[in-house]
Amino acid sequence: MRRVLRRLVIVAATTATLVAVASPAQAALSVRALWNMNSVPSMVDGAGGDNNGTTRNVTLSGGAYRFNGSNAIATAPDRPNLDPGSANVRLSARISFTQVPTNGQTFDIVRKGYATTSGGDYKIELRRSSAGQAVAACEFVDSRGRVAVQGTVGLQGRGFVTVTCTKTSRGLSLTAGGQTRTVARTFGSISNAAPVYIGAKGDGTDWYPGLMDWVKIEIG
């Protein structure tokens, strides 16, 4: 009986050690920018103010930003702490909208850089699915090329929903509308000199028509 109890104590201690080792890795992801979207024309970064931005033609609606789908955009300048390099990245946004993109159209939620930008890019956008629904998509371009993952759950008309894109060294995952989809991929580095665009692509296209409650960028 004593031998059995001793084994149980050893197993419990080993488990506790594993948990203790795992915790710092999970806590390493830090918030680099958190835009709560409750002021205009300034877009205040609630994660320390390092990444304050500005808005154009954005209005406030019930404590959230309203993007008109034609010329409203928010921008934060390029800063080194928004470039992940080879570190993990989590992008998330809380949005509410009713319009579905037309064929070939997308609505940008948040992005840093374009697919052709030197150093790569990352973004969340809304696309039109083959079923005619507005679905979320994540896209990252690094030194190895482009990788994307797209959901299948229609998000339009559901009220506020949270979309999360997570990149690790092993793959990219998207969580939205109660669904998580993952693509396995070994990632390289992402680091560019581009600003962050929210609600549009930044080149006069991909205008988002709807509300946005907050956007967050975490890296670590």
Residue at token pair 């955009």: 73
| Interatomic CA distance for residues 191 and 126, integer angstroms | 23
Tokens of 34: 């958190």
At 117-143, the pLDDT tens digits run 999 999 999 999 999 999 999 999 988
| Interatomic CA distance for residues 124 and 119, integer angstroms | 18
Which has the closest alpha carbon to 198: 104, 76, 21, 98?
76
| Interatomic CA distance for residues 90 and 83, integer angstroms | 12
R_g (Cα) of the chain, nearest Å: 20
Tokens of 159: 């009220």
Q: Going from the N-terminus, what domains does the chain have, and what CATH number goes with each?
A: 29-219 (2.60.120.200)
| Interatomic CA distance for residues 218 and 220, integer angstroms | 7
**What is the Cα 152 distance to its own chain's centre?**
17
Confidence of residue 48 (pLDDT cuts 50, 70, 90): confident
pTM score: 0.85
Average pLDDT over the chain reads 88
User: Is the pLDDT score of 180 beyond 80?
Assistant: yes
